[in-house]
Chain A
């Protein structure tokens, strides 16, 4: 059954969308959480909202599609962080829904997390994405689809990504 059929079928419409959601919510949230911190839930909702409103073409690999959209939305959110909210607003955010609380990356106090995110942030973006996606368990075909690269290049790119990550991570004071 194609994604479109699953999502758009009139029989059990909610159940079909729900089953996709239930199967992939956790991994998409975790992926975005690594990228964004506390804004992850908000962006993850955006991703599934897009799946509901604008599903991919019939026959698509919807897991890869979800990661593609999550990557795009996550990067958009990172770029829009130029106007950072004040701490005061973030404290106020404590009393709001956790989906709306301040971006975790901005309030990071964990040294290790900060080092890892800082290392990722200074890497070639493609390498950082590949590293996070592979860590999430995507296979080489899915990695190629989500990042728009050739499947046969994934091994080389991953080896370079891991080497670059280690260099940047050590430069940030990390230890291996």
Chain B
């Protein structure tokens, strides 16, 4: 037999080839070729293993999501599946609380529901979105939530697009105060863009009949909300914020955001402690979610930050202030949230957790 081709030798590494093997026994040169191919195959395998995902999404949750989508696309009832019913009964209100924190403009209402008066500290709760009847990041879910639970939300400033300004000094002028600036390490990346968000004032009047009707219509009969909420108006005020983006290559940007704490006006006659307890006692709520919310002690001054499973968080100290470090599941994207003298700060990007913390601690205050 003539010397086999590289292709045949390569195939030999993955399975038997009696002729080629017989040839190798008598051919030193081909044995060396085979070993060379084997070593290269091994090196490629080692290199490719760097792309191994750090975790695989839980298969049961993934299956549930696919079923959910399949049922929607095939025209079945979105809520017809056995395993979603308990979660629907779980109460759209708490789902709204979580989703709304993440989704503007509904976060306004969520602050109201949570009864945050002023943010002084942070707590993270882990959210398994597969347990929620609506996908919080899904536009359809957002509309459904808005329609079913929140009703009309009246915002004073419907145009919430941030305004681009030329510099941090100009952002300070717009906001009427001097701003904190990033330390040398971040500033050295080069300032890419600065934005000022518009102040937002949103009011929300509870219409219990409407909410109850929506809950009943969606199959959540039996869920009853506190009567004292009916007709009450909550108002949320979100002051202007500034966002500075550092880095110019589009791949290694770092965002530094700051703004005064939002606050809400709770109407007279509403005891938010009781309301909160009532909401958390709605039958069927995911127990883990309720437990995490109940563990938030100073809940009127605590911003509850929902993070998906797979992400992680821990409390940190930023120059003596309480803060929260949040990492995505790869650990490659990190964000630090902290407050100082009534101002909230967020700094994050493609940084290691240590770099993010060091950067947050190097911020210079006016």
Contacts and interface: CB of A to CB of B under 8 A. Distances in A.
B308 A97 contact: yes
Contacts of A92: 102
Contacts of A95: 101-102, 305-308
Interface string A141-172: 00000000000011111110011011001000
B18 interface: no
Interface of B: 5-12, 14-15, 37, 40-41, 43-45, 47-48, 50-53, 56-57, 59, 62-63, 65-67, 69-70, 73-74, 101-102, 129, 135-138, 243, 245, 250-255, 305-311, 326, 328-330, 332-333, 335, 348-352
B63 A94 contact: no
Contact of A110 (B50, B66, B349): B50
Interface residues of A, number: 66
Nearest to B7: A156
Contacts of A1: none
> Which of B245, B251, B307 has the most C-beta atoms of chain A within 10 angstroms of its own C-beta?
B251
Contacts of B102: 92, 95-96
Contact of A135 (B48, B66, B307, B326): B48
A48 interface: yes
Nearest to B192: A87
Given A88-B243, A131-B48, 18 more contacts: A34-B48, A40-B53, A44-B62, A45-B66, A87-B349, A88-B255, A94-B307, A94-B311, A110-B50, A113-B50, A116-B48, A132-B48, A135-B45, A140-B14, A158-B7, A159-B6, A159-B10, A162-B10
A14 B63 CA distance: 10
Given A45-B69, A131-B48, A140 B11 contact: yes
A54 B351 CA distance: 42
A174 B51 CA distance: 14
A159 B14 CA distance: 12
A94 B335 contact: yes
A159 B53 contact: no
> Which of B6, B66, B74, B135 has the most C-beta atoms of chain A within 10 angstroms of its own C-beta?
B66
Contacts of B62: 21, 25, 29, 41, 44-45
Contact of A100 (B6, B137, B253, B332): B137
B251 A106 contact: yes
Nearest to B129: A97
Nearest to B59: A25
11 contacts: A21-B59, A88-B255, A94-B326, A97-B136, A98-B308, A99-B57, A109-B252, A110-B50, A116-B47, A159-B10, A165-B47
B329 A29 contact: no
B355 to A, nearest CB: 10
Contacts of B310: 98
A30 B52 contact: yes
B53 A156 contact: no
Nearest to B53: A33
